[in-house]
A and B are shown apart, each in its own frame.
Chain A
Amino acid sequence: MFQKSTTLLLISASLFFASCGEGVQKEPKPVDVQELTKNQNEEHGPIVKESDITVTNPLKSDWVTAGKATYELKCQSCHRLTGEKLVGPGWLGVTKRRTPVWILNMVTNTEMMLSNDAEAQKLLELCMVRMPQQNLKLDQAREVLEFMRNNDGEK
């Protein structure tokens, strides 16, 4: 309430001030500082498309190893390799439930998925913690996917 009435007062005050001309003074065109926001390089990847990914067998064992290391550093705190839900869902069976493109977007474009994807939003309602953007590059995320497939028993 306080805010509202103050704002009203200020608005009416500034309207009044604005009408009080001080003679014509050409203002230099102000720099569009809002352009600065665009320079802020959030390290979210571009949206992953179906065609960006190839999934082949047998699994690439070096990707599985690298994916496991990334899992332990950035994912393990919240995701178990079993079906048990900790902070987020357990990973067992995730590659059967979700498509590769869904998984990679969830990992590299977390905020986009939480805002747009119905399945991701269902999970948010279930877990009540927004999945953190953990700053994985696409190739790192792809390695994690390989590790997930390995965890799901693929050869």
Chain B
Amino acid sequence: MQKMILRSLVPVITAGLVLFTGCKPKGAQSAVSGDAAAKVYVAPGKYDEFYNFVSGGFSGQMSVYGLPSGRLFRVIPVFSVDPEKGYGFNEETKPMLNTSHGFVPWDDLHHIALSETDGIQDGRWVFGNANNTPRIARIDLKTFRTAEIMEIPNSAGNHSSPFITENSEYVVAGTRFSVPIGDNQDVPIDSYKQNFKGTVSFIGLDKTTGKMNLSFQILTPGVNFDLARAGKGKSHGWFFFSCYNSEKANTLLEVNASQKDKDFIMAVNWKKAEEYLKAGKGQKRSVKYAHNVYDENKHSATSEIMNEVTVLDPKDCPDMLYFMPCPKSPHGCDTDPTGEYIVGSGKLAAVIPVFSFTKIQAAIAAKDYDGTYDGIPVLKYASVLYGEVQKPGLGPLHTEFDDKGNAYTSFFVSSEIVKWNIKDLKVLDRVPTYYSVGHLCVPGGPTRKPWGKYVIAYNKITKDRYLPTGPELTQSAQLYSIDGDKMKLLLDFPTIGEPHYAEAIPAELITKNSQKIYKIEDNQNPFAAKGDNFARVERKGNEIHVYMTSIRSHFTPDNIEGVKMGDVVYFHVTNLEQDWDIPHGFAVKGANNAELLIMPGETQTLKWTPEKPGVYPMYCTDFCSALHQEMQGYIRVSAAGSNVPISFSTGKTVPDSLSATSNR
């Protein structure tokens, strides 16, 4: 082993020596500069400077990394089940994954939005979107747990989501797929142009709790919404959504949705929409969507099916929506820290158009239109354009901003990040990415106050960058320093799922609120056993409820008898510990279920249906003390007609004469 490693390292180091001797990196392989290792080295026991919240893509989860080290701290289960944490398996969290389609165990999490106050990240919540079965999740950053999930009705492919306004008034959700909306959805697919509509939804957030409420939806022409950004500063009150397929194609979009020279960025005056809503212009539509909330005192979730949504139709609401032409299938749509500039990125374009909010307002005032699209005014491109970045690269996708008036745009086709100045639109620097970069992240990059320092590239292809692991390779991110004039590659680090968007935030904004335990006194789970006096086993018809406590290192009770075939057993396990980082696990042999992983002060429930009579061991799965291996017990299952009474105990030793008797 050692030999092999040495053998493989030596040539690398030697190559390093050769390359770095000259101090003049040339070509792709020499892109790392000499002090890169020192810049990303976080010594053992030391903390990283930033948290990096990264979408887990088709894993359905959100991952948390440290920067600059690229170390993975946590995978937060959001839209997919996670047997390791019991998420979606224990009785308490199953309702989180309920939808109008029933229980959905998987989704595709694309984008991240950190909550903001006055346009600055405040470290309270992070939002993620489910792309497949449209939903938005709110994660509480005190506990790093999914606190709430709201399904979005009248939507399909919730891609243009969950972007946030500067005071966390709303997160939004725009449909990627337009779909038939209304009572009759069984229509011919080729009736797209008549029957298919898009929507953008505004989900209001409670100022103190963050609780979501589907405030209103806006009905739109049947285009495909892609990405979005809120206005900020002077443009606060507006939202910008990029969209493609203004051709309204319903087949072979690769060709048919790329016919027109320009698609659109849709500008939404959401303050105006609020006025229309107040004036009663909204129509109540009958829909079905799930709203799931995790109660952190009861340690359990509830799912409520909602039946109505308020829809604003632009026909009844003039001056609420405008389209701005944007070249070649726009993808990214990013507002700069001042809120004056909106950067559109056409996936197939050779320029980056930058729109001016001041000019947009002037064009609207002067009715400087280039006709209408489905009745919605189209602003003249030349009238709203601040300027174009010329020859930036091939296939611009996303733009982030630093604290010095610069923008960073990712180029998928030419695999590079390009730094340019927002004011004079001049390209300042470019660095290669390995390979095919998608999203970018600058700490605080989408806010009024970028923290700068780094840009991270989230790449679509890694090819030869890591040791091969069969046909599927790791996903990857790359960290670049942006302190100086030139961007410098510092680090590659692997990521889970496919990383789409990510945000980074200074560590202190999170750590100061981080919760260590659940106070046992505040535990309101109806199945909690708050102390051994409450540890018991109860029969209710064919349900057996085991109220169990765990503490280093035993369960109470740990010997249970009286379960019969046909019974369903619920283990309600309360962790009585009140010390940080002391979870207990719980598993029972043969359960067609996951484990429980119970945090200090918490109660979680595992459902188990025994499949045959016998004695089943159960144990603690999370190493808790020197006597962790002793943290175990037995549960006996008897035949359906047996007369074994319910009994339970811990630490009760029976006389040898009695224990020798079998078949009691």
Report which A residues bind B (CB closer than 8 A): 1-2, 5-6, 9-10, 12-14, 16-18, 20-22, 25, 27-28, 30-31, 33-34, 36-37, 39-40, 42-43, 72-74, 76-78, 86-87, 128-130, 132-135
Contact = CB atoms under 8 A, between A and B. Distances in A.
Given A6-B9, A132-B552, A14 B38 contact: yes
Most A Cβ at <10 Å: residue of B34, B507, B627: B34
B249 to A, nearest CB: 50
A36 B552 contact: no
20 contacts: A2-B2, A6-B9, A17-B20, A17-B34, A20-B23, A22-B34, A33-B508, A34-B47, A36-B507, A72-B531, A74-B576, A74-B578, A76-B531, A77-B554, A77-B556, A77-B576, A130-B625, A132-B551, A132-B578, A135-B578
B34 A77 contact: no
Interface string B538-581: 00000000000101111010000000000000000000111110
Contacts of A6: 5, 9
B589 interface: no
B611 to A, nearest CB: 32
A130 B651 contact: no
A22 B6 CA distance: 29
Contacts of B467: none
Given A36-B511, A76-B531, A20 B579 contact: no
Most buried by A among B511, B521, B551: B551
Q: Interface of chain A, helix or strand or loop or mixed?
A: loop
A76 B532 contact: yes
Given A25-B484, A33-B508, A78-B551, 19 more contacts: A9-B9, A14-B37, A17-B38, A18-B34, A22-B33, A22-B35, A28-B483, A30-B49, A31-B506, A34-B46, A36-B47, A39-B508, A42-B516, A74-B576, A77-B531, A77-B551, A129-B625, A132-B577, A132-B579
Interface of B: 1-2, 5-6, 9-10, 13, 16-17, 20-21, 23, 33-38, 46-49, 483-484, 506-508, 511-512, 514, 516-517, 519-521, 530-533, 549, 551-554, 556, 576-580, 582, 625-627, 651
Nearest to A43: B516
B582 A132 contact: yes
A36 B580 CA distance: 17
A128 B551 contact: no
Contacts of B6: 5
A40 B533 CA distance: 34
B37 A17 contact: yes
Contacts of B512: 39
B33 A77 contact: no
A84 B514 CA distance: 39
A141 to B, nearest CB: 13
Given A39-B511, A133-B578, A16 B17 contact: yes
B517 A31 contact: no
A44 B148 CA distance: 32
A41 to B, nearest CB: 8
Given A9-B9, A10-B37, A20-B20, A27 B483 contact: yes
Contacts of A9: 9-10, 13
A37 B507 CA distance: 11
B450 to A, nearest CB: 15
B579 A134 contact: yes
Nearest to A111: B579
A87 B553 contact: yes
B47 A134 contact: no
Contacts of A16: 16-17, 20
A72 B533 contact: yes
Contact of A33 (B35, B507, B582): B507
A6 B46 CA distance: 21
Contacts of B582: 132
Contacts of B627: 128-129
Contacts of B516: 42-43
A27 B483 CA distance: 8
Contacts of B17: 16
Contacts of A74: 520, 531, 576, 578
Closest 8 CB pairs of A and B: A135-B578, A20-B34, A72-B531, A17-B34, A133-B579, A77-B551, A73-B531, A134-B578
Nearest to A76: B532
B508 A36 contact: yes
Contacts of B554: 77, 87
Contacts of A87: 551-554
A21 B20 CA distance: 10
